[in-house]
Structure 1
Amino acid sequence: MLLSTVLLVPWVSGAVLVALDGRRRVVAWLAVASLVVTLTALGVLAADVFDGGDRQVVTGGWPAGVGIVLRADALGVVFALLSVLVLLAAAAHEAAGGVRSRTFPGLVVLLGAGLTGLFVTADVFSFYVFFELAMTASYALSAYGGKRRQLRAALVFTAVNLLGSFVFLLSVAGAYRVTGALAMDQVAARVLGVNPNAAGLIAAGFFIAFSVKLGLFPFHFWLPTVYAGARPSVAAILSGAVANIGAYGLLRFGADLFPEQLRLAGVALVVLGAASIVYGGVLAVARGDAAETLAYSAIGQVGYVLVALGVGGPVGLVAAVLYSVINSLNKALLFLASGVRGAAVAAAFAVGALSVAGVPPAAGFVGKLELFRTGIVAGSVALVVLLLVGSALSLVYMFQVYQRRFWRPDPQATGATSPLPQRLFTAALALLVLAAGLWPEPLLVLSDRAVDALLAADTE
């Protein structure tokens, strides 16, 4: 019942809210309340999963194979909690500042329904359905603001991600063709007996689709235009919540459904991840605009996830999950803080900047430590050097952004201070990032349990 509730609440409330005028404050705050209820239900579900193991239900009382199978494991609920938390922060941020579009609150809640659905489904095709629901809401949200810059960003985002969706659908069809199944556990079991060339081609298709969502090099070309062109709240949603589809997809479809193909592609993944780290870092240093710097930073930061995934094993997978969570919080905080003015905003931005650079006591320090541990376990000096270079580049460009944003007068600034609730929500997110660095044990335990769920599914 609880598993169905986490989908029913955002689905029903989102459908109602999208029909109302979101520019009215009561509608905007109703959307925030709906996300609070969803996050609470997910928290209860997560506690149930961590205490008693996976939870599974077939919707509508249909037999398995006919109805949609929902399954909550540690990996899925971690990403669902993370994504809804980011959506809640962005929705509250926009509600406090005044919503500018009648559909924005409802679309954010529907996006939460789509993201939650794909994180708790146990069926490849259902994953695609929820995937498209989430992306449809994202396409509409990327045009939020209605200015030329936002419309251009929406056009680019929609065109590129429709291509990624098409590649993903082809891969789903290929997986069904060679395995005769759509249930994830059946696909994982039957793919072992499939022709290795066919399985490799299908796995490559899934990798391309998820890499487009993440903005990995060389699939990054759309990301700077979209992130820099979108409004801060939308950029936070796209980078901190929607991008989780890519990180979760690489973990679920790689380590769970195609573990052998992931192992064979390990070196290639490390090389691509290294290219993302260096490319994103160098271009971020060269940018003069804060939004563009944060956009290129996003390209570099997801490279760390790919490197950890390429190294593989329990240590590499834990580092990939942990850094995905921390990176999502970092990006949401930085994009939201970049659109806020007033007291304490500089401190909140500094926490996010230190976290990206891996400087204690922010949460990013814990993530970088796990990545260094991955490089040491892999016995690769080159990997450790790469992580040091990437961290140094992060420190340089984040200092540049902080200097331009808070040390120098902004010629475009109106001098108006952002509403107090908006500043408080940004500060609360910064405190969460800081708390995760000062007390990292819960985050480490969540990452360990998420990887245990993956490896357990792989050995069944």
Structure 2
Amino acid sequence: MTLLATVLLVPWVAGALLVGLDGRRRPLAWSAVAVLAVGLVLLVALTVRVASAGPVQLVTGGWPAGVGIVLRADALGATFAVVSQLVLLVAAAHEAIPGPRARSFPGLVVLLAAGLTGLFLTGDVFNFYVFFEVAMTASYALAAYGGRPRQLRAALVFAAVNLLGSFIFLLSVAGTYRITGSLAMADVADGVLRAGANAGLLVAVGFFVAFSTKLGLFPFHFWLPTVYAGSRPAVAAILSGAVANIGGYGLIRFGAGIFPAQLRMAATALVVLGAASIVYGGVLAVSRGDTAELLAYSAIGQVGYVLVAVGVGGPVGLAAAVFYSVVNALNKALLFLTAGLRGPLVAGAFVVGALSVAGVPPAAGFVGKLTLFRTGVAAGSPALVVLLLVGSALSLLYMFMNYQRQFWRSDPAAGTTVSPLPRRALVAVLALLVLALGLWAEPLWQLSQQAADLFARESG
């Protein structure tokens, strides 16, 4: 059994077992954390192998290509799989410390890990959709975690909007098969090139709408504040730091890998939409007094940077998009997990996340913003560089304002409460990881460059 198959089999088997048991029991909750930790180790090992030896591909069950499920691990998919698994691991541990409030929570997180891992490591468009739906089904249930009206309302909005996105995605899959006669990603990419840019334009737009809805890009953001602010901190961290990676990964994989000609045609529009997300999210975040709402609007602004980098394209733009997607996922997970907590460790962790979002050294966000500035310089656009500076200034402003409100209060009863030490230590460890990526960014940057090189022929 290969390493590639093992990273999928472990969460599938464990998730199927755990989802039927009472996850409110501490041993079961921690067993889910252990499964996620094993999965993370396997994914890191797979990523190291991919980085050193190149992509790995496997057709499951010994079936011929085109019949069996095609699994393919390359630098892009492995990178997104690792960061998503890490976020799920931290969020699961965050809830396991006091004990989950719902029996299904640990099992659902593990099944979500299985769906996301399969999605990032598949080489077939239809299988991507299947894993996409598995991940989304688990996400719908997790959004209701807590059972209060606010969480149930968030789950209803999340399910309604994303079911519409899934329908649009399925229509796009059908359109892809119609114009190419294949669903294997490599064959689809060649078929789209032969069919011409105009033939695949409508299909490409469908995929873009589906992924933009998942990311919460302007103007597809209308659902995001309600869901992120209404969910419990661990669930908000999962949705923003792991599930939202579907959108960023999909824009890069499908845009640069399958529809490169359509991506070049729409480059200006993508940059404009990304700029609108940056400004809109930043301005609305400044006006919010609630931490969860502020972080929700901040998430809208931060994904705009990824879209700008994808719109610029080329090796520099795509590498910046991959790098910033990873950093942004960690930032959002860290900041949402600090919501509702107090204490010096939490305050320090929040400062690290805030500096990273604003692009201030030595946090990882500083290196991420530098890669984006390189994108603006490579595009020869002073306006783009100015936009990035304005967005960073807005981020620093609303993060500092929130830090004052959340951690400078003299009356603890007026705001949040002190959390158990293990929870505070957990967010501190995640903050140290964000700092470490800022101080030693070379491995992640090399992976990002390898991911961009996969599309060098198409995005040139």
TM-score by length of 1: 0.98
Q: Counterpart amino acid of 1:302?
A: V
Shift of 1:446: 1.5
> Structure 1 410/384 Cα, relative in aligned 2: closer, same or farther at 3 Å?
farther
1:253 and 2:261 are equivalent in the alignment: no
Contact 2:335 2:353 in 1 (8 A): yes
Partner of 2:362: 361
Equivalent-residue separation in structure 2 for 1:425 and 1:316 (angstroms): 33
Structure 1 pair 413/59, CA: closer, same or farther in 2 (3 Å)? farther
Alignment partner of 1:179 is 2:176? no
Q: Taking structure 1 as reference, are residues 450 and 94 closer, same or farther at Cα in structure 2, changes over 3 Å only?
A: same
Measure, in 2, the Cα distance between the counterparts of 1:200 and 1:411: 55
Taking structure 1 as reference, are residues 415 and 87 closer, same or farther at Cα in structure 2, changes over 3 Å only? Answer: closer
Q: 1 CA distance for matches of 2:34 and 2:372?
A: 37
Aligned: 1:62 with 2:82:
no
Q: 1:44 Cα deviation (Å)?
A: 1.1
Q: Match for residue 90 of structure 1?
A: 91
How many Å apart are 1:454 and its aligned residue? 3.2
Task: Name the CA shift for 1:333/1:415 in 2 (closer, same or farther; >3 Å).
Answer: closer
After TM superposition, give the deviation of residue 343 of structure 1 in Å: 3.2
Partner of 2:454: 453
Q: Is the 8 A contact 1:144 1:150 kept in 2?
A: yes
Offset, 1:97: 2.4
Give how far 1:197 is off: 2.7
1:49-73 deviation per Cα after TM superposition (whole angstroms, max 9, x unaligned): 1111111111111111110010101
Q: Which residue number in structure 1 is paired with residue 408 of structure 2?
A: 407
- Is 2:314–2:456's contact at 8 Å kept on the other side of the alignment? no
CA pair 457-2 structure 1, distance change in 2 beyond 3 A = farther
Match of 1:131 in 2: 132
SS of alignment partner, residue 92 of structure 2: helix
Q: What does the per-residue CA deviation read over 1:137-168, in whole Å, with 9 as the maximum and x for residues that have no partner?
A: 00000000000000000000000000000000
Q: Relative to structure 1, is the Cα distance of residues 122 and 387 closer, same or farther in structure 2, using a 3 angstrom cutoff?
A: same
Q: 1:64 to 1:457 in 2, by over 3 A?
A: farther
Can you list the C-alpha shifts for 1:186-227, whole angstroms capped at 9, x where unaligned?
000011121533300000000000000000000000000000
Q: What do you get for the CA RMSD once the two structures are aligned?
A: 1.3
| Match of residue 437 from structure 2 | 436
Q: Which position in structure 2 is the counterpart of 1:121? A: 122
Letter in 2 for 1:437: G
The 8 Å contact of residues 75 and 454 in structure 1, kept in 2 or not, is answered as no
Give the 3 Å change call, closer, same or farther, for CA 414–330 of structure 1 in structure 2: closer
Structure 2 equivalent of residue 323 of structure 1: 324
Question: Is the contact between residue 256 and residue 458 of structure 2 (CA under 8 Å) also seen in structure 1?
Answer: no
Structure 2 CA distance, aligned partners of 1:359 and 1:267? 28
Alpha-carbon separation, structure 1, partners of 2:311 and 2:410? 43
Paired residue for 1:194? Answer: 195
Paired position in structure 1 for 2:374: 373
Q: Structure 2 vs 1, CA of residues 414 and 381 (structure 1 numbering), >3 Å: closer, same or farther?
A: closer
SS at 2:71 equivalent: strand
* Native 8 Å contact 2:340 2:417 kept in 1: no
1:300-339 pair list within 5 angstroms: 300-339=301-340
CA distance in 2, matches of 1:452, 1:388: 28
- How much has 1:416 moved relative to structure 2? 4.8
**CA distance in structure 2 between the aligned counterparts of 1:30 and 1:143, rounded to whole angstroms:** 22
Distance 1:149 1:410 in 2: 26
Q: For 2:70 and 2:405, how far apart are their aligned partners in 1? A: 50
- What is the one-letter code of the residue matched to 1:173? A
Mapped to 1, the partners of 2:322 and 2:123 lie a distance apart of 19
- What are the within-5 Å matches in structure 2 for residues 94-109 of structure 1? 94-109=95-110
8 A contact 2:313–2:459 mirrored in 1: no
Shift in Å at residue 411 of structure 1?
A: 6.8
Residues in 1 aligned to 2:33 and 2:454: alpha-carbon distance in whole angstroms:
31
Identity %, equivalent residues: 74
Which residue identity lines up with residue 417 of structure 1 in the other structure?
V
| Preserved CA contact (<8 Å) 2:155 2:227 | yes
Question: 1:441, CA displacement in angstroms?
Answer: 1.2
1:9 corresponds to which residue?
10
Name the structure 2 match of 1:207. 208
Shift of 1:377: 1.2
Residue in 1 that maps onto 2:272: 271
Structure 1 residues 160 and 410, CA gap change in structure 2 (3 angstroms): farther
CA contact (8 A) 1:256 1:455 kept: no
Q: Deviations over 1:308-346 (max 9, x none)?
A: 111111111111011000000000000001132333110
Gaps of 5+ in 1: none
Aligned mates of 1:263, 1:415 — CA distance in 2 = 48
State how far apart, in whole Å, the 2-side matches of 1:14 and 1:176 are: 32
